[in-house]
Amino acid sequence: MDPSLIITAAIILIPLIVGYTIYASLIRKKNMVLEALSGIDVQFQKRTDLVPNMLKAAKKYMEHEKELLSEIVELRSSANVSYDKSDPQQVGKHIDAENMLKSKLDALKITVENYPDLKSDATMLDAMDSMENVENNLSAARRFYNSAVGDLNNAVEIFPSSFFANWLNIRQMPFFEAEESARKSVDASDYL
């Protein structure tokens, strides 16, 4: 076989193989982020489905907490809106809406502590246990998502995959981050 033919074939095939490998890697990373985001959405949906049960149980005991209950219902509706999972801005807005709902649900949990009858209500106990389970699953799903986003964002920023990412219109995605209130130190004396 002619050596120049081998060299020509290598010059053509090596860049094609490298290009395809980078392309395939970017697509895998993008799809991993979408899969992780879908996993989070499944847990959000479970949480959203649990909220009415918690509110029904709480409503009969907490008539004067109507404002908090109304806010939770409103946030549940706004967090349950569909969005474009490939648009980083819409993903960020969805993450913010879910964080606001979590904040209000945490306030509800604290409020429930002030109602001994409600704390011992079987429906409320079941809903709170289920909610805690969903929150634990959400925490794991967020870690998986953030890991996938880190991999994707690195690939989008680092050359030569950044060239392909730009060509394919694959953009960086936002990380799930704790709200400012969750970053503050907890003062145990506030609860004693």
Q: What is the pLDDT of residues 120-157, one digit of tens each?
A: 667 677 777 888 888 889 889 999 999 999 999 999 99
Task: Inform me whether the pLDDT recorded for 58 exceeds 60.
Answer: yes
Task: Compute the average pLDDT of residues 84-112.
Answer: 84
Asked if residue 185 belongs to a domain, the reply is no
Of residues 50 and 159, the one with the higher pLDDT is: 159
- Helix axes 161-168 and 3-59, enclosed angle (nearest 10): 60
Per the domain annotation, does 192 fall within a domain?
A: no
Determine, yes or no, domain membership for 52: yes
Of the two residues 61 and 153, the one the predictor is more confident about is 153
Q: Has residue 20 got a pLDDT over 80?
A: yes
pLDDT at residue 192, rounded to an integer = 37
In-domain check, residue 191: no
134, 47 contact by CB (below 8 A)? yes
Residue 188 covered by a domain: no
Say what the pLDDT of residue 188 is. 46
170: pLDDT strictly greater than 90? yes
CA distance 172 to 165: 9
List the CATH number of the domain containing 67. Answer: 1.20.1440.20
Greater model confidence, 84 or 148 = 148
Structural domain includes residue 190: no
pLDDT > 70? residue 190: no
pTM: 0.70
Average pLDDT taken over every residue of the chain:
82
What is the rounded (10 degree) CA torsion for 20, 23, 24, 30? 180
d(CA 171, CA 86) in angstroms, rounded, equals 8
Question: How many domains is the chain partitioned into structurally?
Answer: 1
Give 181's pLDDT tier (boundaries 50, 70, 90): low
pLDDT at 43 over 80: yes
Highest mean pLDDT among 15-19, 82-86, 132-136: 15-19
Across 80-100, average pLDDT: 86
Whole-number percent of the chain with pLDDT over 70: 82
**58 burial via Cβ count (<10 Å: 0-12, 13-18, 19+):** buried
User: What contacts 68, CB < 8 A, 6 or more positions away?
Assistant: 62, 104, 107, 108, 111
Residue 187 falls inside a structural domain: no
Nearest-CA neighbor of 121 among 111, 112, 134, 132?
A: 112
Its domain, for residue 155, covers 3-179
Considering only residues 122 and 119, tell me which one the structure prediction assigns the higher pLDDT: 122
